[in-house]
Structure 1
Amino acid sequence: MQVDQQLSEIQNIVEDTLSLAKKLGATGCEASMSKVQGISVGARMQEIETVEFTNDGGLGVCVFVGNKKGSASSADLSPKALKLTVEKAIEIAKYTSEDDCAGLAEPDVIATEFPDLDLYHPQELDAEFALEQALSAEKAGLDSDARIQNSDGASYNANLGVRVYGNTHGINAGYPSSRYSLSCVLIAQEGDDMQRDYAYTISREPNKLDSAQSVGESAGKQTVSRLGARKISTAKVPVLFHRDIASGLFGHFVSAVSGGSLYRKSSFLLDSINTQVFPQWLSIEERPHVKRGLASSVFDNEGVRTVDMDIVKNGMLEHYLLTSYSARKLGLKTNGHAGGIHNCVVSDTGHSDEELLREMGSGLIVTELMGQGVNIVNGDYSRGAAGFWVENGVIQYPVHEITIAGNLKDMLMNIVAIGEEREVRGALQTGSVLISEMQVAGM
């Protein structure tokens, strides 16, 4: 079936669902439906482990009866099943408590224009090709160094899908999208020392993935570089979060300025609008309409139009990230963040990787984080880590079995540099982040 025809059919189902909900007594309704086809293959030690094809679809319905809300979903898309799904959602709504903040997003913020963001680049879901990619990536990694004698496997994934959202304020829109990825995880050994690391590539376009050879070789290089890891003495030192993991640092910031954390008063950044939360040179821009972007979308999960937004400008927090519900709880207006952020780009200081090391002098590069020791309520941060020790701007040796600790409020303000080479494989893009000082616990 052609994707345009599939999109039209799903829109018809969504329209029928909305009409049925109103007919059965709902004062408002929203429905979202997706259909996804995909392939996932895995190989380990040059043997095929898994080959999975998926062909999934489902409809989610949320109805409002006054200020009462009910939700139901179904993977069965027959007319009888859809009718039963809507009936169950309305029945659930009748038993829920009144909530003055419940309801659809306001009509004036609903998307009305739907430009093509070029998110759909279909390629045949070919098992032989997928296996070749996974096996080639792993072989390149195994062949890259004699010390790599084992593997946790390589995998290739491809997904082609269509998503449609509609509500009783008039929106009924959707778009097709594609996503491809290839990853490889290797194990290196030298004497009794064993280390593990990985590499991956992801894109909307299959021909924009890194080659299987380069993914395997990169995984091999990173894995071998961790051999000979040592413990280090406890000290307060500068810490450089490598770009591969630095987005997580800003992910904690995103959680802290998201409406759900704020109206529950469970954020270390309560009442921080128009206050400085980063150094003056740092900005975070959200650009939802980037062509082929991994997190691009014309509207959010409530049908609210997405817009370019400077979340942080000159170090000042300019916007909270709100859904319609959290916005009402806070007495504000939603700004299109139901479902998360859309292509957030952190500014940089123009430093190359070598310049970042020179700027740090002596300190710790963190390339892996472990554990969940992050408290968004008060900002306390304590996580297991591994990486590399640096002296006089030069990497000396790998380190492991350490803990880094601080408070997120201080950590964000004490960022002194960000590298110009960005990690772009996610919704939040940033270079490596240098923090002036953190507590490092080792021996």
Structure 2
Amino acid sequence: MTTDLAALADQILSAAKSAGADAADAVAVDGTHVSIDTRGGSLEEAQRSEGVEIGLRVLIGQKQASVSASDTSADVIAEMAARAVAMAREAPDDPWIGLASPDQLATDTDTTKLDLFDPSDEPDPAALEEDARRAEAAALSVEGVTRTIGGSAGYGRRRIHLAATNGFTAGYNRSSRSLSCVAISGEGTKMERDYEWDNRIYQSDLRDAEEIGRIAGERAVARSGARRPKTGAYPVIYDERVASSLVGHLVGAINGAAIARGASFLRNALGQTILPEGLSIIENPHRVRTGSSRLFDAEGLPTAKRALIDKGVLTGWVLDLATARKLGLESTANAGRSPGAPPSPGTSNLALTQGDKSREELMKDMGTGLLVTSMIGSTINPNTGDYSRGASGFWVENGELAYPVNEITIAGNLLEMFRNMTPANDAREHLSTVVPSLLVEGLTLAGD
């Protein structure tokens, strides 16, 4: 029996008012997730989870508290509301919290136009297992692959409904289908690993299992014989698979929560040029068939396309209602939330301006340097932008791949890195974060 999430959210709000809340908002989530993992052609693990989770935030004056539960019985909802109110009464005052006013709320809530849900039947577990097996087999068929860590296939669907005592009530459905494979080349201390994956809203858009496995195997073999390059200052190309991490660092630095705390190396950069003049970062929450798309945020405000960076210039912060009020600004409709926490600012779909050259053409422009295909760890100073990360990939000489490298550290300063970025033209358009390979000048590599 399908749970009526709108009625459930309304029931939660009624319980909160009866318990003494001045205002409240609620979220109800009904989800199913299936994952199948294989190793060596045999089933290793099969998991399925499903159920309803509910969350409640209550406000009493300028105090708030959030609670969540996975039991939707009337008694539990009443007890949850009573506990939330009791917690709020003991909470410290926060002058910036509060629901949106009714005139701020989204009026267009028909999320079907975003095409976020595949109406086809849930795939049979046997079909998921077969996909994982086929990906593994394709990886093992690549000469030089010695084993696989495994293949993995998954399916998920979620229904989400938001409601608040200011009159907002709306929801949406999402689905996902995923497939991945991890392959290994070599033996003992000479082992190297790499992977390939795909994740789509629609089953019909998912790439073939043989392609996923083959690419994982070829990448693992290409890493055979990795060594460390000489320490020095070199240009670095971030492969498309990892380039989005740089945009992630930038977006984290303009998040309203960091700005309000004064803990960001971009806190004084509003209106300044921080990227090369031809580059923009566009947030577009309304992209069709894209996993992070949404017509309204977690506080019920209408979302809109906007430029976070416009031709190199930082135009604004990423704000929810509370951080906007603290900064004396208007919300940018970037609130997100989980059932057990209050709203906080975050982005949806992002795209960095693409260039007119391929990754290979950027390598020729670079001449000698590093192509990074994998990263581990992260040391970022949020106040200065000083940057250090472990990396592996390929050494480039005379514009061509020379040999694989690993166990190196890349260091620099994000402010300088942002100003010296050159994008390629290879970004995958279906991803939520669309970022091409990036050439960054003047980084320090710690190797031999």
TM over 0.5, yes or no?
yes
- Which aligned pairs between 1:25-36 and structure 2 lie closer than 5 A? 25-36=20-31
Give 1:54 deviation, angstroms: 1.0
SS, match of residue 45 in structure 2: strand
Partners of 2:100 and 2:185 lie apart in 1 by 52
Q: Deviations over 1:375-403 (max 9, x none)?
A: 22210101111111111211111111111
Structure 1: runs of 5 or more not aligned: none
Q: Which residue of 2 aligns with 1:168?
A: 165
Whole-Å Cα distance in 2 between the matches of residues 60 and 138 of structure 1?
A: 40
Asked if residue 363 in structure 1 is aligned to residue 361 in structure 2, the reply is no
1:10 correspondence with 2:5: yes
- Pairwise CA distance, 1:19: 2.4
Shift of 1:275: 0.8
- Greater mean deviation of Cα atoms: 236-245 or 355-364: 355-364
Match of 2:347 among 323, 341, 346: 341
Q: Distance in 2 between matches of 1:104 and 1:19?
A: 16
Quote how far apart the aligned CAs of 1:191 are: 8.1
Show the counterpart of 1:297. Answer: 294
1:253 alignment partner, SS class = helix
Superposition deviation, residue 304 in structure 1 = 1.9
Secondary structure in structure 1 of the residue aligned to 2:364: helix
Q: After alignment, is 427-436 or 103-112 more displaced?
A: 103-112
In the other structure, the counterpart of 1:68 is 63
Residues in 2 aligned to 1:162 and 1:131: alpha-carbon distance in whole angstroms: 25
Moved more, 391-400 or 196-205: 391-400
Aligned residue among 216, 219, 228 for 2:225:
228
Partner of 1:42: 37
Q: SS state of the match for residue 175, structure 2?
A: strand
Residues 15 and 77 in structure 2, CA contact (< 8 A), matched pair in contact too: no
CA distance in 2, matches of 1:114, 1:192: 55
Where does residue 183 of structure 1 map in the other structure?
Answer: 180
Structure 1 runs (4+) deviating above 4 angstroms are none
CA–CA distance in structure 2, aligned partners of residues 440 and 192 of structure 1 = 23
TM-score by length of 1: 0.96
Cα distance in structure 1, aligned partners of 2:267 and 2:65 = 30
Aligned partner of 1:136 in structure 2 is 134
Q: CA deviation at 1:427?
A: 2.8
> Which one of 437, 443, 446 corresponds to residue 441 of structure 1?
446
Contact 1:112 1:171 in 2 (8 A): no
| Residues paired across the two proteins, number | 436
**Equivalent pair of 2:290/2:430 in contact (CA under 8 Å):** no
Overall identity of the aligned pairs, in %: 36
1:20 correspondence with 2:35: no
Task: Report what 2:341 is aligned to.
Answer: none
SS of the aligned residue for 2:444 comes to: strand
Counterparts of 1:302-313 in structure 2, within 5 Å, are 302-313=299-310
Task: Report the residue type matching 2:405 in the other structure.
Answer: V
Single out whichever of 347-356 and 276-285 deviates more from structure 2.
347-356
**SS of residue in 1 equivalent to 2:329:** coil
Which SS does the other structure have where 1:373 is aligned? Answer: strand
Partner of residue 109 from structure 1, selected from 104, 110, 119: 104
Instruction: Give the Cα separation in 2 of the matches to 1:99 and 1:404.
Output: 41
Contact 2:278/2:312, CA 8 A, preserved across alignment = yes
Deviations 1:135-168 (A, max 9, x none): 11011101122x2122111111100110001111
Distance in 2, Cα, partners of 1:366 & 1:275: 29
Q: Decide whether the 8 Å contact of 2:25 with 2:58 is kept in 1.
A: yes
Q: Does 1:326 align with 2:331?
A: no
Question: 1:310 & 1:119 partners in 2: Cα distance?
Answer: 23
SS at match of 1:229: coil
SS in 2 for 1:175: strand
User: Is it true that 1:406 corresponds to 2:403 in the alignment?
Assistant: no
CA distance in 1, matches of 2:175, 2:247: 26
d(CA) in 2 for partners of 1:126 and 1:377? Answer: 50
Could you tell me whether the CA contact under 8 Å between 1:256 and 1:269 is conserved in 2?
yes
Shift of 1:305: 1.5
Structure 1 equivalent of residue 339 of structure 2: none
Match of 2:403, as an amino acid? Y
Q: Distance in 2 between matches of 1:57 and 1:240?
A: 44
Is the 8 Å Cα contact of residues 201 and 425 (structure 1) preserved in structure 2?
A: no
1:279 is paired with a residue of what secondary structure?
Answer: coil
1: distance between equivalents of 2:366 and 2:357? 11
Check conservation: 2:282, 2:351, Cα contact below 8 A: yes
Report SS of the residue matched to 2:380.
coil
Tell me the equivalent position of 1:242. 239
How many Å apart are 1:190 and its aligned residue? 6.1
Alignment equivalent of 1:389, drawn from 383, 390, 395: 395
Unaligned 5+ runs, structure 2: 337-345
Give matches, 1:86-125, under 5 Å: 86-115=81-110, 116=112, 117-122=114-119, 123-125=121-123
Instruction: Tell me what 2:427 maps to.
Output: 422
Output the aligned Cα RMSD.
1.4
- Alpha-carbon separation, structure 2, partners of 1:125 and 1:18: 36
One-letter code of the match for 1:353? Answer: R
User: Residues 339-364 of structure 1: CA distance to partner in whole angstroms, max 9, x if unpaired?
Assistant: 22111110022111221111211111
SS in 2 for 1:371: strand
CA distance in 2, matches of 1:271, 1:109: 29
Return the letter of the residue paired with 2:390.
Answer: G
Question: In the alignment, which of 344, 357, 361 is matched to residue 351 of structure 1?
Answer: 357
Q: What is the 5 A alignment of 1:150-169?
A: 150-169=147-166
Aligned partners of 1:357 and 1:394 also within 8 Å = yes
Report if aligned partners of 1:244, 1:423 keep a CA contact under 8 Å in 2: no
- Using the TM superposition, give the Cα deviation of residue 420 of structure 1 relative to its aligned residue in structure 2, in angstroms: 1.1
**What is the Cα deviation at residue 244 of structure 1?**
0.2
Report the Cα offset of residue 22 of structure 1.
Answer: 2.2
